[in-house]
Amino acid sequence: MNLAQTSIKSVLVALLLSSAFVPTLSADIKKGQKAYLKQCKKCHGNGTKGAAMKTQEEWTAAFVDDNAGFKAWHKDTKGEKYANGKKFKKYSEHLKDFLYEYASDSGNVPSCG
Ligand code: HEC
């Protein structure tokens, strides 16, 4: 491969990578928002209100260590079964992305709740 071909190839690779990463990020927030509306809204109200319950730091901390912080918030409440359930576990990564994005100190507000 000559030099010109090599640089064209690296430009293409860079383009591919950037277009692959940006939509994935926002798609996860969207997925998290959807999951929030399906799973958390009935107990905590709309997404703006729900995400604003905590700061970005608090959300981040709640989702480490197999979501121990999140489980602790729901221990001995009617949300306990949900917090330990499969549905929450399956979507927890996306939920975290959404909640972090719209945390009380994020300055962001979701377009629909
Ligand atoms: C079945 C009802 C139920 C579901 C589903 C549920 N929760 Fe809860 N949650 C509760 C209850 C009850 C509490 C404890 C009382 C309170 O603080 O409202 C609680 C507590 C919390 C707290 C702590 C509030 C505080 O003041 O410290 C946060 C944050 C929270 N939930 C977020 C969520 C999120 C995010 C989801 C969805 C991923 C969710 N909850 C799903 C019922 C639920």
Q: What is the mean pLDDT of residues 76-97?
A: 97
Residue 85 pLDDT exceeds 80: yes
Ligand 1 atom at minimum distance from 88 CA: 38
What is the end-to-end Cα distance of the chain in Å, rounded? 53
pLDDT class for 48, splitting at 50, 70, 90? confident
Residue nearest to atom 4 of ligand 1 (CA): 79
Q: What is the mean pLDDT of residues 46-56?
A: 94
Percent of the chain residues topping a pLDDT of 70: 85
Ligand 1 centroid – CA 70 distance (Å): 8
pLDDT at 110: 61
Could you tell me if 54 and 99 are in contact, meaning their C-beta atoms sit under 8 angstroms apart?
yes
pLDDT at 17: 62
Residue 11 pLDDT exceeds 80: no
Q: Which residues line ligand 1 (CB under 6 A)?
A: 39-40, 43-44, 50, 53-54, 73-74, 77-79, 82, 88, 95, 99
pLDDT at 64: 97
Cα maximum dimension of the chain: 67
Q: What is the mean pLDDT of residues 65-82?
A: 98
Ligand 1 centroid – CA 50 distance (Å): 9
Ligand 1 centroid – CA 12 distance (Å): 45
Cα dihedral sign, 75-81-85-91:
negative
Cα dihedral sign, 57-25-45-68:
negative
Residue 41 pLDDT exceeds 60: yes
pLDDT at 24: 59
Ligand 1 atom at minimum distance from 92 CA: 38
Could you tell me if 103 and 52 are in contact, meaning their C-beta atoms sit under 8 angstroms apart?
yes
Residue type, 82: Y
